[in-house]
Chain A
Amino acid sequence: MSGNQAARNLRLAAAAGLAGVVATGFVSGWERFWANWIVWFLFVLTIGLGGLFLVALEHVVGARWSVPLRRVAERISGLALLMGPVALLALLALPRLYPWAQAEGVQDPVVAAKAAWLNVPFFVLRVVVCVGLWTLAHWIFVGGSLRQDRDHDVRFNVRARRLAPIFMIVFAVTITIVSFDWISSLEPSWYSDVFGVYLFAGTFLAGLAATTLVALHLLSRGRLPGVGRDHMYNLGGFLFAFAVFWSYIGFAQYLLMWYANLPEEVFWYREHLDGLWGTLVLLLAALHFVVPFVVLVPRTAKSDARRLFWVAAIMLVAHWLDLYWMIFPVLGKGPLLGWQELSFAAFFLSTGFLWIGWELTRGADMPVGDPFLREGLAFHL
């Protein structure tokens, strides 16, 4: 179908989804509404932040091979800004889902001890500051790159290389705050030191997978001339490596809590492995680790467009499943999958695709102002 037809279908899907989303709150209860909202908010946010991280990483190490693909990651990072208003709306979830924001939840002694961090005003401040910092980073790196398209100013590269390490520190702190605030504090008496790293692993993977999918889409339309198998091999290698990294961190968190068997840590896993959730975890491990690992192990597979497409798509589904598995058990029921969840999917996915589609019309498909573009296009393994 043509681009306009696709856009129209997406708008219809978004509208239908929105209707279902609103209906969910009134028909099925606001807890379920907010649980879905948080899962999708974090899903799209982490894809965007993953893209932004990838851009900053390329500036930090001065990578040349990735310059032709950097614009793809820059466009995806816009999704993080799209989630700014969504985050502000999500603040309404606090009294519904988060025990520390509720009157009787604060009376728990463990929760009360964390009240200096877990209180509504400070939480709101953190959200505002994080969104502000991400917006600033987006303006510096992505905005600067788009401006460089026009003025070909080499000073952008110098500035980006100087500021990217600072952003790395900011990113580490903010992604940890996101993981502790939005996910971990659903059960305020639980804590896991490695949780920030766990969310970072999923975030980076989501950004890589989205970059791969959009890059493959643009390649198939001939919009990335000069980008070849060797560039895609590197993306495939990253996907492979960080699928293993995510599994490593996820298993390490589980293994330590299993070994120590401390009641104040283990109860979270008992809830999340109870009944059908335990089956879901097996599906999560299969989609997030086994499938990408087995499919991408051969060297030729890492540059194969079809395999990359399927692995990247499955990895995004697995990332959503990861967030769903972490958040939904707080509702106290088994895995829920109904028209409510499908409406949220329709709404957020369509809006995301429409946004990406709009971003793909802005600026050039490659950073044409970057002095290292030619060297990047000439990259061979």
Chain B
Amino acid sequence: MTDRASSVIGIFDNPRQLMAAIPAVRARVQGRLEAYTPYPIHGMEEALGLRKSPVGGMVFIMGVIGAVSALAFEMWTEGIDYPLMTAGKPVLSWQAFIPIMFEVTVLFACFTAGLGMLLVLNRLPFFRHPMLQSKSMPLITRDRFALAVEADERPLDVATITAALRDAGAESIEVIERLAPVGPVSPRFLLRVALGVALSCLVAGYLTYWGVKLFPLAVPVVHMLDQPRLDPQRESAFFADGSGMRLPVAGTIARGHMPYTIPDSDAAAAALANPLPRTESVLRRGRQAFNTYCTVCHGVLGDGRPSLTAAYGAKPANLVAQAIRDYSDGKIYQAIVMGRNAMPSYAADLSEDERWAVVHYVRALQRALNARDEDIPTGVSK
């Protein structure tokens, strides 16, 4: 029986006796001393020789970790991952970061204080503490003060302890036996479950973040794309004829496009004058438009030698030949707008400015491929 005892409890009548008994008993016995009282007794921690609680240090460290991690998270999301400018404020505004940082600091610190104290340091929940089964329990929750010598690794010397407690003034002694090991649901098991849940939450959060980022078409992320709106080239129940594609309202024109009212007459076209000045920016714009739309058929140099093969059939005009050099600007403009022979109209592709810029560029090509000696800059040998 002796080696199965988990603790020996001495019951005292008042706190003074208990406090006096502690050093007396400690001098004579081996084992961990614990005191059970109905209310906190001043000076008990020093008397029992308990170490200073590490809660303060834990809370401070976790508070700092909370502050730093919250700030880093905010700086990363706002500064690197998804910068959002709100109300014209700078993207990395420390002022806006402070409230969240404060709250996360308090969160980490409070959880550490509460849960750390309860779960980690006090190893709660205690399902089967031996004291709870003892006969002394009703006494120490009422009006008695107990000093218990509890077994650590070594078995308790019950006789010595009993004698020491009696000599110190205990009015009754109780020996509590070691209880059978607990079943599967032990505190350690619960702690492991809690840690497992916490870890799963962490992993799930991480996976969700990356999943949403990498798989935008997976349900439900795709709901952002799948919206009840009118998409191009789709039917629509909103309109009577069921078609989502509508013609412009009669009598209206698109912004930036004026209707071309010159009749299909060369003389009228010749009267048009190029409104744009011949500047480098205009020529650059003309070059860009020409390279996009015209070189397919007329060639990069505008000489009617495109990259099209002979299978194409039609023969595009040589824009740098004398015939086109004799065209007025307005006639070239009309060819762009109305089309000519096999060439379709490019009015929808080029705005009015772009068309005139292309005309300037064609003139530049014509001059370049029909250069005269006078065109060579001075200083360059002929």
Nearest-Cβ distance from residue B112 to partner chain A, whole angstroms:
15
Contact present for A255 and B42 (CB under 8 Å): no
Give the contacts of B81-118 with A (CB-CB under 8 A): 87-89, 95-96, 98-99
Contact present for A380 and B42 (CB under 8 Å): yes
16 sample A-B contacts, Cβ–Cβ < 8 Å, listed by A number: A251-B98, A254-B95, A255-B95, A255-B98, A255-B99, A258-B95, A259-B87, A259-B95, A259-B96, A261-B87, A261-B88, A261-B89, A297-B60, A298-B56, A299-B56, A380-B42
Bound CA–CA A261/B88 (angstroms): 10
Q: Chain B residues near A261: list those with CB within 8 A.
A: 87-89
Nearest-Cβ distance from residue A100 to partner chain B, whole angstroms:
31
Nearest-Cβ distance from residue A302 to partner chain B, whole angstroms:
12
Q: Chain B residues near A259: list those with CB within 8 A.
A: 87, 95-96
Nearest-Cβ distance from residue B343 to partner chain A, whole angstroms:
57
Interface string of A298-330 (1 = CB under 8 A from B): 110000000000000000000000000000000
Nearest-Cβ distance from residue A232 to partner chain B, whole angstroms:
17
What is the predominant secondary structure among interface residues of chain B facing chain A?
helix
Chain A residues with a Cβ under 8 A of chain B: 251, 254-255, 258-259, 261, 297-299, 380
Interface string of B52-81 (1 = CB under 8 A from A): 000010001000000000000000000000
Nearest-Cβ distance from residue A115 to partner chain B, whole angstroms:
34
Give the nearest-CB partner of B42 in chain A: A380
Give the nearest-CB partner of B87 in chain A: A261
Bound CA–CA A254/B93 (angstroms): 13
Nearest-Cβ distance from residue B378 to partner chain A, whole angstroms:
59
Bound CA–CA A299/B87 (angstroms): 43
Bound CA–CA A251/B99 (angstroms): 10
Q: 3 closest Cβ contacts across the A-B interface? A: A380-B42, A258-B95, A255-B95
Q: Chain B residues near A251: list those with CB within 8 A.
A: 98
Nearest-Cβ distance from residue B72 to partner chain A, whole angstroms:
21
Nearest-Cβ distance from residue B306 to partner chain A, whole angstroms:
58
Bound CA–CA A261/B89 (angstroms): 9
Give the nearest-CB partner of B102 in chain A: A248
Nearest-Cβ distance from residue B70 to partner chain A, whole angstroms:
16
Bound CA–CA A259/B60 (angstroms): 30
Q: Chain B residues near A299: list those with CB within 8 A.
A: 56
Bound CA–CA A297/B98 (angstroms): 20
New A-B pairs, 11, CB < 8 Å, besides A255-B95, A261-B89: A251-B98, A254-B95, A255-B98, A255-B99, A259-B87, A259-B95, A261-B87, A261-B88, A297-B60, A299-B56, A380-B42
Q: Chain A residues near B42: list those with CB within 8 A.
A: 380
Q: Chain A residues near B87: list those with CB within 8 A.
A: 259, 261
Give the contacts of B292-311 with A (CB-CB under 8 A): none
Nearest-Cβ distance from residue A54 to partner chain B, whole angstroms:
26
Nearest-Cβ distance from residue B65 to partner chain A, whole angstroms:
16
Bound CA–CA A255/B87 (angstroms): 14
Bound CA–CA A193/B101 (angstroms): 25
Nearest-Cβ distance from residue B45 to partner chain A, whole angstroms:
11
Give the nearest-CB partner of A260 in chain B: B87
Nearest-Cβ distance from residue B39 to partner chain A, whole angstroms:
14
Bound CA–CA A58/B60 (angstroms): 31
Q: Chain B residues near A297: list those with CB within 8 A.
A: 60
Give the nearest-CB partner of A258 in chain B: B95
Bound CA–CA A259/B94 (angstroms): 12
Nearest-Cβ distance from residue B100 to partner chain A, whole angstroms:
12
Q: Chain B residues near A258: list those with CB within 8 A.
A: 95
Bound CA–CA A103/B88 (angstroms): 39
Bound CA–CA A297/B56 (angstroms): 10
Q: Chain A residues near B99: list those with CB within 8 A.
A: 255
Give the nearest-CB partner of A378 in chain B: B42
Bound CA–CA A258/B95 (angstroms): 8
Q: Chain A residues near B95: list those with CB within 8 A.
A: 254-255, 258-259
Bound CA–CA A299/B42 (angstroms): 18
Nearest-Cβ distance from residue B103 to partner chain A, whole angstroms:
12
Nearest-Cβ distance from residue B85 to partner chain A, whole angstroms:
13
Nearest-Cβ distance from residue B210 to partner chain A, whole angstroms:
32
Give the nearest-CB partner of B43 in chain A: A380
Give the nearest-CB partner of A299 in chain B: B56
Q: Chain A residues near B98: list those with CB within 8 A.
A: 251, 255
Bound CA–CA A129/B96 (angstroms): 42
Nearest-Cβ distance from residue A254 to partner chain B, whole angstroms:
7
- For A259, A297, A299, A380, the residue with the greatest tally of chain B CB atoms inside 10 Å of its CB is A259
Q: Chain B residues near A254: list those with CB within 8 A.
A: 95
Give the contacts of B7-50 with A (CB-CB under 8 A): 42
Give the nearest-CB partner of A261 in chain B: B87
Bound CA–CA A298/B89 (angstroms): 38
Give the nearest-CB partner of B99 in chain A: A255
Bound CA–CA A258/B42 (angstroms): 50
Nearest-Cβ distance from residue B95 to partner chain A, whole angstroms:
5
Bound CA–CA A25/B42 (angstroms): 60
Nearest-Cβ distance from residue A219 to partner chain B, whole angstroms:
22
Nearest-Cβ distance from residue A286 to partner chain B, whole angstroms:
16
Give the nearest-CB partner of A254 in chain B: B95
Bound CA–CA A83/B168 (angstroms): 63
Bound CA–CA A295/B96 (angstroms): 27
Bound CA–CA A348/B195 (angstroms): 61
Give the nearest-CB partner of A297 in chain B: B60
Nearest-Cβ distance from residue A121 to partner chain B, whole angstroms:
41
Bound CA–CA A299/B89 (angstroms): 40
Give the nearest-CB partner of A381 in chain B: B42
Nearest-Cβ distance from residue A282 to partner chain B, whole angstroms:
13
Q: Chain A residues near B60: list those with CB within 8 A.
A: 297
Bound CA–CA A167/B320 (angstroms): 99
Nearest-Cβ distance from residue B259 to partner chain A, whole angstroms:
47
Q: Chain A residues near B96: list those with CB within 8 A.
A: 259
Bound CA–CA A258/B86 (angstroms): 12
Bound CA–CA A298/B57 (angstroms): 9
Nearest-Cβ distance from residue B270 to partner chain A, whole angstroms:
60
Give the nearest-CB partner of A248 in chain B: B102
Bound CA–CA A258/B60 (angstroms): 30
Bound CA–CA A298/B60 (angstroms): 9
Give the nearest-CB partner of B88 in chain A: A261
Bound CA–CA A259/B96 (angstroms): 8
Nearest-Cβ distance from residue B68 to partner chain A, whole angstroms:
16
Give the contacts of B120-160 with A (CB-CB under 8 A): none
